[in-house]
A and B are shown apart, each in its own frame.
Chain A
C-alpha cells in the first residue's frame, strides 16, 4: 500500500506493507540509518524519532500508522551542514561515547525542548527516561540538554 507522509521536511510517497514498522520504513526504504534498533520493543529508545513533534519509538509504530504524519529523524536536524544547537551541545559536553543511543537520545531531547524550553533537572530526567544509555551514565547528556536550552533561550531573547 502506498502512503504519503513528510520525512525531514520533505513530502514522500512510499510503498509499505501492513506489518512494516516505521523503523523499517525509515532505515530500509528511506536509508535514514541514524534511527537505530536496540530492543525492538520500545524500551531502549534508540529508535526514537519525532512524529508530529512528539517523541515516539519507531519500532512500535507501524509504517501505515504514520500516513499523513510529519516525521523528523536526526538527519533532519542539521540545516545546511551546520549542527543543530542540541547536536552541538552534545559534542561540547562529551555527551556521546559509543554513539549508538545518541540519535534517539537527541530526538527525545529535541521533543522535550520543543515542549519545555526551560526544563528543570527533574523534567530533563523525565523527558529522557525512555532512552537507555550504557556508556555515559546520562550525566553529560543532562548537561548537554541544559546547555542547549540555555543557548536557545539566549538566541531567542
Chain B
C-alpha cells in the first residue's frame, strides 16, 4: 500500500493508557482491593540439589490466620513444561508445581496460604525443611559431560544447522578462532511476578496474570488439572514490564492449585529477590567461532559452537539454542556454515525467554569475533561488514524464510556517516588514563513464528458501534510496548477515524479469538497486518452496507474522519450510518478475520557506541550511542524510539554490568538490585535513533518488528568499542572493571615481552 500521506500511521499518537499511568489510576494486579482474597507465598528450596526429607509445619500452622500449608505431597504429580503451548511440541516435560527433589535454590517445594500476606510470610518463616543434599552441578562445560540430575532426561541436547561446504584450499585465507561468553541476565521488569486465581460461575477456573501468552497458560493448566480448555479462563492483567520473563507459565499452576484447593480467590506474589531466584533468567552462552576469510575480507566459511546453560529445567532452553543457530545465515552472505548448539543443565535458576531469545547472545559471540577478525585483516570493521552483509531479497541458505526487504546495508552505511565513524575511528583518543574508542555491530532478528516449528496465526473481530466508536476484539497483550496503540493506529488509518475512538481489547481466553502471543516480535508484523486486513474488510462491508441503505453505489461514498460523504452532498456520522444499517438491513457493521502470515522477513539493526575507559579503575562509560534500524515503516516513531532506548539500556547492561552469579555451593550471589546493577540514570548515554523505512511487504503499511532486535547489536557494539579503545581482546561479558584491568595488565605484559 503506497499512500502519499497518512493521517495516523507515522504519527506520534500518545499511548492509549499513558494518562492512566501518569496519574497512577491504572491498577496493576497487585493494586486491586483485597476483599476475600487469600494470600499465597511460595516455599522455596534453600539447597541447590537434593531431596526434601521432611517439612515441619506444626509451628507455622498454629499462627492465627494461616489457612493451609502445602508441601511436595500436594503436588498433583503431573510433569509439564512451562514453555509449551500445544500438545505436539517435543519439549521435555520435567517441571512440577511442588517438587520433592529441588534442583536449584529457589525451586518451589510448597506454599503457605493465609488471610494476609504478612501472616503468610511469618508462617513461612516458621517452617523448617530437612533436606538430603547432593553436590550441585554448576559449570556448564562440566555439566555437558556429567550424568543427568533429572532422571529419564538427557543432560545435553544438541541442535545442528549446516549448509554449504568448507573450501578445501587455504590459499590466501585467514583463520580466526575466538571464544565469547555472555552472562546470565535478570529481566528486571519493575513489576515482580504475581498471579490471581479463583473459581467462577460455571465452574470456570479464572486466572489473572500479567503475561505474554494467555493461551499457553490455559493449555498448561488444562493439562495439569485435567480441565477442559473452555473451563479455564486466563485473563491478561495490566503488566509492569516483562521482557520475556513473564512469557512462560511460572506462578499460574501453583496459584491455581491453591485456589482450587481452598475454594478462595488466591493472590500469589513474589518479592524481588524471589523473582531473581525463582523465575527465569536469560541463559548464558559460551560460543566458539572459527571464521575463514580471504585477504580481501570476504567471509568464506564459519563454524560456531555454543554451550547454552539452561539452568535446572528444560523450559524453553533448547528452543533458544535452536533459535540462535537460525540467525547465523541471515546477516551475512557466507557460502558455508556449520552450527552446533548444545543445551545443558545446571543446578541454577532455569533459563527462559528473554528479549531477543538467543539473538543477543549469538550476535555478541559472532560480532565481537568479527571485529577481531577485522583487526587481524587490518580492515575497518564497518568496511568488512559491508563486504559481506546480505542484500534485499536474499534467500536464507539454511532454508529459513526469505529475508525480505533486507536493509541492513542502508543501516550500516547511513549509520557510519551519521556517527562520523571513520573520523572517530581514526582520531587518536585520550591521554594516558582515559581512553576513548568507538565500536559497531550489526544484527538480525525475526518477525514471528512462520517458518519455525511453532504455529503463527490469529483471528480478530472488529465492529463499529452505534455511535461510531470501534471495538477490536483480539487476544492481544499490552506489555508497555505499545501493542494496543499500534493496532489502534492501523485500524484508525484504514477506517479513517481518530485512534481515540478505537478500543483494542487485551486477551481473555474465554472471550478473545486465538492469538499465538505477544512474543517472537510478531505483534506489528503479524497482528498488525491482521488488523489492517480486517479493517479493510470491515471498511468494504461498511461501504457496501451504506450503498444499500442510501441507495447509491459504494464508489460514490467517501469516508473522512468519522463521517461518510455521499455524492449528493449529504453526510452521516459513522454512528448514524451504523444505526441505519441496523434498522434497515438488520445487520452489524463488523467482521471476523482469520489470519496467518506468509513470510517471516528479517528485521535489522546497526548500533554504534563510543566509550571512555578509565584505565586506572577499569570503569567503562558509554559516552555516545547511535542506533539505526531497518523497520520497514514506523507506525509510531516515538513509541519505536522508546523501545530502542530501552533495548539499548538492556544491552549496555549485558556488556558492562549485569551478570547473575552463583557461588560454589549453588547459592545465588546477587539476588537483589544492590548487587545486580542495571544501567541507572547517571550512566545512560545520549542515544540517537535513525530509522530506515523502505517498506517490508507483508507488514502493515510496510512495518516490521523492533521490540527485540533493538537490544541485540548493543552489547557487541559496546564491547567492540572497548576493545578498540584499549587494543584488548575482551570476550568475557560483562566487561566489569576487574576484567578490564586484568586484560590491560595482560596486554602490558605481552608488550613488555614482545
* Chain A residues packing against B (C-beta within 8 Å): 27-28, 31, 33-34, 36-41, 43-44, 46, 73-75, 78, 83, 87-88, 90-91, 94, 96-103, 106, 124-126, 128-129, 131-142
Which residues of B lie under 8 Å from residue A34 when comparing CB positions? Answer: 23-25
Stretch from B291-299, B378-386, B644-652 contacting the other chain: B644-652
18 A-B pairs, CB-CB below 8 angstroms? A37-B192, A39-B271, A46-B190, A88-B22, A90-B22, A96-B18, A97-B482, A98-B240, A100-B191, A128-B681, A129-B680, A132-B673, A134-B187, A134-B189, A134-B650, A137-B684, A139-B687, A140-B642
Verify A139–B684 contact, CB threshold 8 A: yes
Verify A100–B681 contact, CB threshold 8 A: no
Which residues of A lie under 8 Å from residue B24 when comparing CB positions? Answer: 33-34, 73-75, 102-103
Verify A43–B673 contact, CB threshold 8 A: yes
Q: Complex: how many Å from CA A61 to CA B389?
A: 55
For B478, give the chain A residue with the smallest CB separation: A98
Verify A39–B240 contact, CB threshold 8 A: no
Verify B19–A100 contact, CB threshold 8 A: no
For B25, give the chain A residue with the smallest CB separation: A34
Known contacts A36-B240, A99-B17, A135-B646; 17 additional CB pairs below 8 A are A31-B33, A40-B271, A74-B23, A74-B24, A83-B23, A87-B23, A98-B239, A98-B241, A100-B189, A100-B191, A125-B681, A125-B684, A126-B682, A133-B646, A135-B241, A135-B480, A137-B645
Shortest Cβ distance from residue A155 to the other chain B in the assembled complex, whole angstroms: 19
Shortest Cβ distance from residue A52 to the other chain B in the assembled complex, whole angstroms: 21
Which residues of A lie under 8 Å from residue B21 when comparing CB positions? Answer: 96, 99, 102
- Taking a contact as CB atoms closer than 8 A, the residue among A83, A94, A126 that contacts B19 in the complex is A83
Verify A38–B272 contact, CB threshold 8 A: yes
Verify A39–B19 contact, CB threshold 8 A: no
**Is B243 engaged at the interface, CB distance under 8 Å to the other chain?**
yes
**Is B312 engaged at the interface, CB distance under 8 Å to the other chain?**
no
Shortest Cβ distance from residue B36 to the other chain A in the assembled complex, whole angstroms: 15
Number of interface residues of B (CB under 8 A): 55
For A46, give the chain B residue with the smallest CB separation: B190
Which residues of A lie under 8 Å from residue B20 when comparing CB positions? Answer: 99
Verify B190–A44 contact, CB threshold 8 A: yes
**Is B30 engaged at the interface, CB distance under 8 Å to the other chain?**
yes
Verify A39–B17 contact, CB threshold 8 A: no
Verify B191–A138 contact, CB threshold 8 A: no
Verify A98–B480 contact, CB threshold 8 A: yes
Q: Complex: how many Å from CA A36 to CA B189?
A: 13
Verify A134–B646 contact, CB threshold 8 A: yes
Verify A43–B672 contact, CB threshold 8 A: yes
Nearest 5 A/B pairs, CB to CB? A34-B24, A98-B480, A100-B240, A137-B645, A99-B21
Q: Complex: how many Å from CA A141 to CA B645?
A: 11
Which residues of A lie under 8 Å from residue B638 when comparing CB positions? Answer: 94
Verify A83–B30 contact, CB threshold 8 A: no
B650-703: which residues lie under 8 A (CB-CB) from chain A? 650, 672-674, 678, 680-682, 684, 686-687
Which residues of B lie under 8 Å from residue A94 when comparing CB positions? Answer: 12, 14-15, 18, 638-639, 642
